[in-house]
Amino acid sequence: MTIALAGVLADADAQKNKTQIVEISTSYGNMYVYLYDETPKHKANFLKLAGEGFYDSTTFHRVISAFMIQGGDPNTKTADKAHLAGQGGPGYTIDAEIQPGLYHRKGVLAAARMGDAVNPAKASSGSQFYIVQGKKLNDQELMMAEKQRQARNPSYKMPEEMKEAYRTIGGTPWLDGEYTIFGEVIKGLDVVDKIATVKTRPGDKPEEDIRITAKVIRVSKKELEKEYGYKPAAAADDKGGKKDKEKKK
């Protein structure tokens, strides 16, 4: 009995020390999302909704190539509410957790929200999210993005490592500082690309429903590095984690 109890406790400790990531499954493949500790409210909420099955049968209802794919609206679960896509949620918003070191490079997960005119505090939707596809930018485009940010914050200067990421990985820098980024796709970026290029109707709605199933899975640090190419210990280096040079898809 003592040995059995010790085994149960050891297993519980092992589970406690594992990292929770979210698997987002679609007909185009699976994406695996790591959630940032820097945005605890958004992390906890996303894990809660995914664990409860909230996202199951929702769709990516807004898709714009070279920009992003957006989902998480419960109105998309059934045909009778599909015309309300983009307006639904769980009935609450989340306080903004916009971190200066997190930026919209390709693959990041961020929270959708209402515009500043009705939402000056930039509070996030309780469930809707988007994943950045973006594009690679040249120096002129980066300078324009920096000037746009300086219109809101005259002292802003885009860090060189951020510029290099936008040159080599790509992204959408004009969204920086405006939306809460709270995670990133650590495996399955090819799925983001596939979804981002589907045919769409007016309103950026895909012609075919791209339904989502989301679940929380626990992985050890070793699995996180070996299977997903992600090293959370490096998070302090770039304010959000660092992928291995050989990116996994």
Return the exposure string of 62-100: e unless at least 16 CB atoms fall within 10 Å of the residue's CB, then b.
bbeeebbbbbbbbbbbeeeeeeebbebbbeebbebbbbe
Place of tokens 């190419």: 229
pLDDT at 3 over 80: no
172, pLDDT greater than 50:
yes
Average pLDDT over residues 204-229: 96
Domain-wise residue ranges, the chain: 19-134+170-231
Phi and psi dihedrals of 236, rounded to 5?
Answer: -65, -20
- Tell whether domain 19-134+170-231 is in CATH 3.30.200.20: no
Note whether 127 and 121 are within 8 A (CB). no
For 8-49, write each residue's pLDDT tens digit: 444 545 566 799 999 999 999 999 999 999 999 999 999 999
> Any bridge partners for residue 215, and if so which?
23
